[in-house]
Copies of this chain bind each other. A is one copy, B any other.
Amino acid sequence: MPDILHRIGIKSSSPKNTYQALTTCEGLAAWWTDNTRGESKVGETLRFRFGDRGGFDMKVLELVPAQRVLWQVIDGPEEWIGTQVSFDLKQDGDYTIVLFKHQGWNEAVEFMHHCSTKWAIFLLSLKSLLETGKGAPYPNDVKLDNWN
């Protein structure tokens, strides 16, 4: 099954700070979408909304402080349901490295191509948030194409 994979390196941060931005509604709202609700606890659900376009409900499957976050999509676009999104963190010299995976897609449909580029845009927003204090979450995200 095809996967979406990304890697970013964040200067002037730490795995601990980066983990905060992935596991609090305040952090998530500052780089992904300003409409983020729910609780980042294993077994609980995080709800991400993008205006009229709907959004995603993520069940939190795994949390390892400063190391790993794993979610499963339980509601959202049909192609996303059942897929898993993970963030693995480590320090490498001056950089906090985030290895990102969105796995479990059934098919490499055109929508998956869109989501891959869009994830890159949001991960660059996460990098910017941690390096400069300012991310570009929805609705201020970089627009990509006619599905945006």
Contacts and interface: CB of A to CB of B under 8 A. Distances in A.
A42 interface: no
A70 interface: no
Given A116-B116, A123-B117, A145 B9 contact: yes
Copies in the complex: 2
Nearest to A113: B7
Interface stretch (A12-20, A25-33, A48-56, A93-101): A93-101
Contact of A117 (B2, B120, B145, B148): B120
- Interface size class, chain A: 20 to 34
A74 interface: no
Interface of A: 2-9, 92-95, 97, 99-101, 108, 110, 112-114, 116-117, 120-121, 123-124, 142, 144-148
A7 B145 CA distance: 8
Contact of A2 (B3, B92, B124, B144): B3
A33 to B, nearest CB: 19
Given A3-B108, A146-B92, A8 B97 contact: no
A121 to B, nearest CB: 7
B9 A144 contact: yes
7 contacts: A2-B2, A3-B108, A5-B108, A6-B116, A9-B145, A93-B146, A117-B124
